[in-house]
Amino acid sequence: MGFSLEFDPSSNFECWSLDFLLPLSPTAMSHLDSVSRTLAWGRALADELRAGDVVALVGTLGAGKTHAAKGIVAGLGSNAEVSSPTFTLVHEYPGGRLPVFHFDFYRLDSAAELPGIGWEDYLDANGVVVVEWADKFPEAIPSGARWFHFEITPDDTRTVTEKS
């Protein structure tokens, strides 16, 4: 029996052989060796999210934060084309089980700028708030947020770990 890898974007599983499925766990340390695994990880996390949840994503450029956000948006049922909100600061993705408000703090200079982009309003909007570069202003992230740290490994894959 040969080794095969298939990805079904409608599920949270990658098929490694005919008789073995590897579920992705968003709550443990995960090794993400492809974009498809990162998207699937985000989809798995989306299954756990509820209105009012905040997902704080931390990692260097290219670590996988935006791909994770794409998976979260898709996992919540939106067909929206997801891109990094680096220049617009926030993108809204309606149309799924919950709306997603996707922030990027990378270009902000201080947390004092957040009221100007409606930060508090989005936190109260009964959707899911996803924040890239959340570690720039951790004081702005509500208690109870879920923090995920993405790291690029020496073999150019990624690990993601949930930290409190």
Q: Minimal CA–CA distance to 133: which of 90, 93, 164, 97? A: 90
Domains parsed from the chain with CATH numbers: 6-163 (3.40.50.300)
More confident site: 57 or 11: 57
Placement of tokens 């309606």 in the chain: 94
Residue 107 Ramachandran class (φ > 0 left, ψ -120 to 50 alpha, else beta): alpha
pLDDT tens-digit map of 71-120:
999 999 999 999 888 778 899 999 899 999 999 999 999 999 999 999 99
Q: Provide the CA 82 distance to its chain's centre, in angstroms.
A: 11
C-alpha–C-alpha distance, residues 56 and 132, integer Å: 6
Placement of tokens 């993400």 in the chain: 32
The answer to whether the predicted template modeling score (pTM) of the entire model surpasses 0.85 is no
Q: Mean pLDDT across the stretch 11-17?
A: 39
Placement of tokens 């996988």 in the chain: 64
> How high is the pLDDT of residue 164?
72
C-alpha–C-alpha distance, residues 114 and 121, integer Å: 10
pLDDT tens-digit map of 36-63:
999 999 999 999 999 999 999 999 999 9
CB 156 within 8 A of CB 32: no
More confident site: 122 or 25: 122
Percentage with pLDDT > 70 across the chain: 84
- The H or E element containing residue 108 is none
Placement of tokens 């509500």 in the chain: 142
